[in-house]
Amino acid sequence: MEKSKVYSYDYDDYEEGDKGADTMVADILADSELPELDEIVIGDWGDAWEDSVNQIIDAIVENKEKFSHIKSLFIGDMDFEQCEVSWIIQGDYTKLWDAMPQLEHLTIKGSTDLVLSEGQIKHDNLKSLTIICGGLPKDVIESIRDAKLPNLEKLMLYIGVENYGFDGTIEDIKELLEKSDFPKLTYLGLTDSEIQDEVAQAVVDSKYKEKLEVLDLSMGSLTDKGVDILCQHIDEFKALKHLDAHYHFISGEGMKKLQALSISVDVEDPQEEDEWNGQVYRYPMLTE
């Protein structure tokens, strides 16, 4: 069983003490359990809405030999009470890829000031990449599009909305799916989007559909339109075992259509549209 540990400061640690982003890695290094860990989860590093994660990344890079056994890293595991996701100041991960060649799973929460790499991402062992945010910047999508990740099996992205950092369009999602090269990808999550039906269309048009075992289109504005697109093309998803569509705006009829498919389907947590001045609003989950 993999051994995981969470490192997180609470309000008093940094408000009344002297803890912050600059002390986080020193505290991890001082932990006698570090050599036995497989996974490190870094939660709140203090004023996460003021201090970026850069000091943490830099310190990991400086001490890379001490982290050489870590297979899974999550940076920014905070809930909304600790810090709104759009307020978390992320950082520049350029040097991390070389510093942690053994890393298999990387999860990042927050997209403000997030730079995955100044150049091309190259990593031979990464199996899963997850970015949780209220809005994914276009340049981050482009970094992933151009990345060289030959062993990537799972890609999980929260697309989000414009107000929280998504400055792209459906064309950027289409390009990501067309131009990227992840030969082992079996789990694709393009979630939390206000254009979820269009995302569904982009996925059914993509080269990845035949190999996907899990398709996650959850937490967004998926409607019956998206359901029809998926159902029309479901036979082309030859390896698909599970469709995650929880948190959605699908009708009862639409849910029945999905549930009638010969794969497992999650359609929990149906949402109601908001109407304001004759306009219909469907808010993704991580934006309200």
Partner 1 sequence: MNKTDKKIYLIGDERTKRFSYFQLAAEQLGVNFICLPWSNYKRTWSADILEGGLVKIDPPFWQEADFDKMRDKLEWYRSALMEFGNKEAIYLNTPSVILQMLDKRYCKKVLCDAGIATTKAVVWQVENFEHLLEEMRQSQCSSVFLKPVFGSGASGVIGFRCHPHTGAMSAYTSCQIENGSLYNTKKLTCLTKPSQIQPIIDQLCKMDVMAERWYAKAEHNEKKFDLRVLYQLGKMEFIVARQSKGPITNLHLNNQALDYHELALSKSQLENMEMLCLKATAQFSQCHMAGVDILLKKGSLTPYIIEMNGQGDLLYQDIYGENIVYKRQLQWLNSFL
Binding segment (CB under 8 A) for partner 1, from list 7-15, 53-61, 124-132, 188-196: 7-15
| Long-range residue pairs from 22-31, CB within 8 A, at least 24 positions apart, any chain | 22/55, 24/55, 24/56, 24/59, 25/55, 25/56, 25/59, 25/60, 25/63, 26/59, 29/63, 29/66, 31/5, 31/7
Burial class (CB in 10 A: 0-12, 13-18, 19+), 79: exposed
For residue 17, give the DSSP letter: S
Residue 13 or 142 having the CB closest to partner 1: 13
Q: What residues between 73 and 102 interact with partner 1 by CB under 8 A?
A: 79-82, 84, 86-87
Q: Which of the ranges 5-13, 69-77, 139-147, 236-244 carries the binding residues for partner 1, by CB under 8 A?
A: 5-13
What angle, rounded to 10 degrees, do the helices at 54-62 and 21-29 form? 30
Which one, 213 or 266, has the nearer CB to partner 1?
266
Q: What would the x/- binding string for partner 1 be over residues 43 to 72, using CB under 8 A?
A: xx----xx----------------------
Neighbours of 168 (CB within 10 A): 21
Q: 26-45 mask for partner 1 (x: CB under 8 A)?
A: -----------------xx-
Minimum distance from residue 271 beta carbon to partner 1 (Å): 13
Nearest to 146 by CA among 110, 162, 122, 170: 122
Residue 10 touching partner 1 (CB under 8 A) = yes
User: Exposure of 176 by Cβ count < 10 A (0-12 exposed, 13-18 middle, 19+ buried)?
Assistant: buried
Which of 4, 102, 120, 163 touches partner 1 by CB under 8 A?
163
Beta carbon of residue 222, minimum distance to partner 1 (angstroms, whole number): 19
Considering only residues 8, 63, 130, 151, which one is a binding residue for partner 1 as defined by CB under 8 A? 8
Size of the site for partner 1 (CB under 8 A): 17
Q: Cβ 58 to partner 1, closest distance in Å?
A: 22
Among candidates 42, 109, 110, which has minimal Cα distance to 73? 42
Instruction: List 4's β-bridge partners, or say none.
Output: 39
Q: Toward partner 1, which CB reaches closer, 49 or 282?
A: 49
Give whichever of 134 and 254 is closer to partner 1, judged by the CB atom. 134
Which residues contact partner 1 (rule: CB under 8 A)?
8, 10-11, 15, 43-44, 49-50, 79-82, 84, 86-87, 163, 288
